[in-house]
Amino acid sequence: MSIRSILAPLDGASDNQAILDTALNLACAFNAHLEVLHVRPDPRDAMPLFGEGMSGDLVEDIIATADREAGGRADRLRAMFAERAETRSIPQVAGPGGGEDAATVAWREDMGREDEMVAWRGRLSDLIVTARPGEGSSPMRGLTLHAALFDSGRPVLALPIEPEVHEIGRSIAIAWNGTAQSARAVRGAMPLILRAAEVHVLTCESERSNPTPADELAAYLGWWGVTPHTHCFPPEEEGAGYALLGESRRVMADMLVCGAYSHPRLMQTVLGGVTSVLMDEAGIPVLFSH
């Protein structure tokens, strides 16, 4: 089992080089193809909201200015992408063929809504690599991450806020409660789990009544040749999310695998409690799957 195709959306934020370098590391580790996606917003989409009462000339000036700024941002990102790929001697390719034994990369630039494009392109990838939104992130970052998690059907490796580039996946912690979401997360992370030096299965005691406890997941992983350490621990007063983070730190995991949960609210979904805590507080990459 391997990873053959990775998607890394870049939006021009300060963490984009770390996202790109992490995705390149993974592409090299798995001899995978990396598609780097930048979605330019169409300023015309905002005109129905802000253009009322403006003259036609003013509207055109605003659109032209926004286009220039978006073009400059795209050019800078593409230059960074080309430089990082060239530094690693990773070839740029237009499509599959001849690159099965080495990493390859491609640049893709589209115009529209970033969340919609990431969900669409993510469905054609094995893994999406991005970073969690922090202070100063655009509102679109959160929408895009939400779309990747809940609309792509693919696992999402969400890097910490202000991520540092380092090797990940040597010590993997799995947050396990026997749900379909956690099972899909394990399946999505299996290529990384198989390469890990250490694997830890973490189960909160409040979930012990679940018919699939940590030792049963350990038995399943044994069929893959993986012998994990199992850990059952009490929930902290703040909740299971903080208990998972504390146990992950205790076992010195460099990556956490977890199901992504949501609650329906009106016509939208909001992140569940554990997922929200991990999004806000985890200092290591988290591979989510819904």
**Is residue 201 helix, strand or coil?**
strand
Cα separation values, 27 from 4, 138, 199, Å: 8, 27, 21
Is residue 268 very low, low, confident or very high in pLDDT (cuts 50, 70, 90)?
very low
Query: Domain for residue 153, yes or no?
Result: yes
Task: Specify the CATH number for the domain of residue 71.
Answer: 3.40.50.620
pLDDT value at 267 more than 50: no
Q: Using alpha carbons, select from 104, 114, 160 the residue that is nearest to residue 140.
A: 114
Tell me, yes or no, whether 54 and 128 share the same domain. Answer: yes
Which of 129, 159, 189 delimits the end of a domain?
159
Query: Domain for residue 110, yes or no?
Result: yes
State pTM to two decimals: 0.88
Tell me, yes or no, whether 197 and 77 share the same domain. Answer: no
Alpha helices in the chain (DSSP H): 16-30, 47-50, 56-87, 114-122, 139-151, 180-195, 214-222, 240-250, 273-281
More confident residue, 265 or 190: 190
Tell me, yes or no, whether 70 and 180 share the same domain. Answer: no
Query: Domain for residue 95, yes or no?
Result: yes
Please answer whether residues 273 and 204 qualify as being in contact, where contact means their C-beta atoms are separated by less than 8 angstroms.
no
Query: Domain for residue 166, yes or no?
Result: no
Q: Using alpha carbons, select from 189, 196, 162, 168 the residue that is nearest to residue 259.
A: 189
Give the mean pLDDT of 228-246: 86
DSSP state of 283: S
Tell me, yes or no, whether 27 and 142 share the same domain. Answer: yes
Q: Write out the residue range of the structural domain in which residue 230 sits.
A: 171-289
Which of 159, 185, 201 delimits the end of a domain?
159
Which of 159, 188, 215 delimits the end of a domain?
159
Tell me, yes or no, whether 204 and 149 share the same domain. Answer: no
Is residue 68 very low, low, confident or very high in pLDDT (cuts 50, 70, 90)?
confident
Query: Domain for residue 220, yes or no?
Result: yes
Tell me, yes or no, whether 191 and 280 share the same domain. Answer: yes
Query: Domain for residue 164, yes or no?
Result: no
Cα separation values, 157 from 48, 63, 71, 131, 265, Å: 35, 34, 28, 8, 25
Q: Using CA atoms, how far apart are residues 68 and 244, in angstroms rounded to an integer?
A: 45
> Quick one: pLDDT at residue 18?
93
Residue type, 71: G
Tell me, yes or no, whether 23 and 80 share the same domain. Answer: yes
More confident residue, 55 or 173: 173
Q: Using CA atoms, how far apart are residues 244 and 261, in angstroms rounded to an integer?
A: 15
Tell me, yes or no, whether 155 and 15 share the same domain. Answer: yes
Tell me, yes or no, whether 200 and 133 share the same domain. Answer: no
User: Residues 170-229: pLDDT tens digits?
Assistant: 999 999 988 899 999 999 999 999 999 999 999 987 654 455 689 999 999 999 999 999
Going by DSSP bridges, is the β-strand pair 286-289/156-159 parallel, antiparallel, or unpaired? Answer: antiparallel
Query: Domain for residue 228, yes or no?
Result: yes
Instruction: Please provide the DSSP assignment of 7-54 as one string.
Output: EEE--S-TTHHHHHHHHHHHHHHHT-EEEEEEEE--GGGGHHHH-TT-
Query: Domain for residue 213, yes or no?
Result: yes
Please answer whether residues 258 and 275 qualify as being in contact, where contact means their C-beta atoms are separated by less than 8 angstroms.
yes
Tell me, yes or no, whether 202 and 249 share the same domain. Answer: yes
Cα separation values, 36 from 15, 130, 174, Å: 14, 11, 28
Q: Using CA atoms, how far apart are residues 198 and 170, in angstroms rounded to an integer?
A: 6
Tell me, yes or no, whether 64 and 146 share the same domain. Answer: yes
User: Residues 112-152: pLDDT tens digits?
Assistant: 999 999 999 999 999 999 998 876 667 788 899 999 999 99
Tell me, yes or no, whether 123 and 184 share the same domain. Answer: no
Q: Using CA atoms, how far apart are residues 37 and 237, in angstroms rounded to an integer?
A: 41
Question: Domain total for the chain?
Answer: 2
